[in-house]
Structure 1
Amino acid sequence: MKIFVLALATITTALVAGVFYGFAVSVNLAFAQLPDAAYITATKAINVAIVNPAFAASFFGAPLFLLLAAWMNARPAFTRRGAYILAATIIFWIGSFGVTVAANIPLNDQLAAFSVEGVSAAKLHEVRTAFATPWNNWHMVRTLASILAMVLLIIACLQRGNKEVNH
């Protein structure tokens, strides 16, 4: 059961890391080329589209499976595998899930409340800049955190046996 839960934690974390990575290396680059009104409209559309069962299963599954895997691998004695899982869990919860909930989602909500209709070019640029700069910075944090958590989980999966960590 421990290995099954670890596999689920690894798969869901990898899926989240993949979405964030894919966004960072393609969508963000394409969106940077858009005029301000088109950028805002497209970003709002993605923020609506991403709220779907497939993404939710991985986005909410990863932190839950990580906690469960960390708990299951912390008993009866703390192992190297458990240490990697615990590190991945902390990094993911703070750097990926936490950043998304505390930074990216509030920025998305602010942008959702803004209408591009009848707004001056200067205001469109101001709103885009106020959104895009912090959003992209936080997105990079959550992307790197997700990737690091995934790497740590892969290392945990490759650990042989259940040797205790030497103190």
Structure 2
Amino acid sequence: MRVETARLLSMVAATITTGLVSGLFYAFAVSVMPGLARTGDGTVIEVMRRINVAILNGWFVLGYVGAPLFTALAVGLHVGEGWRGPLGPLVGALVCYVAAMVVTGRVNIALNNALERAGAGGPVADPAAVRRAFEGPWVRANVWRTVLCTVALGLLAWALALHQVG
């Protein structure tokens, strides 16, 4: 495979996978969490617990892990070109996506795990307190990771445009 073909394919794969993850986080921000906000405490806890189990599947992992891997591959394939081409936006996209992964790991996943542990083995003693500890911080962190992934997606689109011009 020619280097130019590999460069283009890695950027396309990075853009698609980043777009999928960005769209997932956006969907939570504009529909799932606002919809859950209109329900009872027990419903929020139960639904989020089920979502946290259901999302751990191969399709999610392909996008979530594929995005930084394909972006890193694209960065590696463009290193020799210098900063005039797509390298700058590719590095920016990788930084933004990794930052979103850090937010996800440190906040969203930590809160998901705490939600799972709440009332483990039995009913949740105080669903309102569990919801308060979970919902606000989770939603704020999700907005941050949505913004970071959307910026990464925009940078990848910019990199593709620069690749086509160059």
Alignment check: 8 A CA contact 1:67 1:89 kept: yes
CA–CA distance in 2 between the matches of 1:118 and 1:93? 36
Partner of 1:155: 158
Counterpart in 1 of 2:136?
Answer: 133
Is the aligned partner of 1:107 residue 2:111?
A: yes
Deviations 1:20-62 (A, max 9, x none): 1111111011100110011100110001111111111000100
- Whether the aligned pair in 1 keeps the contact of 2:89 and 2:158 (CA below 8 Å) is yes
Contact 1:6-1:66 at 8 Å conserved across structures: yes
Q: How does 1:67-146 map to 2 (within 5 A)?
A: 67-94=72-99, 96-115=100-119, 117-120=122-125, 123-146=126-149
Q: Hey, what does 2:66 align to over in structure 1? A: 61
**What secondary structure does 1:80 align onto?**
coil
Contact 2:118 2:124 in 1 (8 A): no
Between the aligned partners of 1:114 and 1:24, the Cα distance in structure 2 is 24
Contact 2:11 2:71 (C-alpha < 8 Å) held by counterparts? yes
Contact 1:73/1:79 (<8 A) preserved = no
Deviation at residue 161 of structure 1 after TM alignment: 4.0
CA–CA distance in 1 between the matches of 2:142 and 2:39?
A: 19
Query: Match of 2:50?
Result: 45
Question: Using the alignment, how far apart are the partners of 1:70 and 1:103 within structure 2?
Answer: 28
Structure 2 vs 1, CA of residues 78 and 52 (structure 1 numbering), >3 Å: closer, same or farther? same
Shift of 1:119: 4.1
- TM-score of the superposed pair, with normalisation by structure 1: 0.90
Please say if residues 80 and 156 of structure 1, whose CA atoms lie closer than 8 Å, have aligned partners that are also in contact.
yes
**Could you say which residue in structure 2 is the equivalent of 1:4?**
9
- Whole-Å separation in 2 of the counterparts to 1:72 and 1:27: 38
What is the aligned-residue identity percentage?
A: 33
Report the Cα distance in structure 2 between the residues aligned to 1:77 and 1:66, rounded to whole angstroms: 16
- Which structure has greater helix proportion? 2
AA matched with 2:92: A
Which one-letter code corresponds to 2:118 in the other structure? F
The gaps in structure 2 that reach 5 residues or longer are 1-5
* RMSD across aligned positions (CA): 1.4
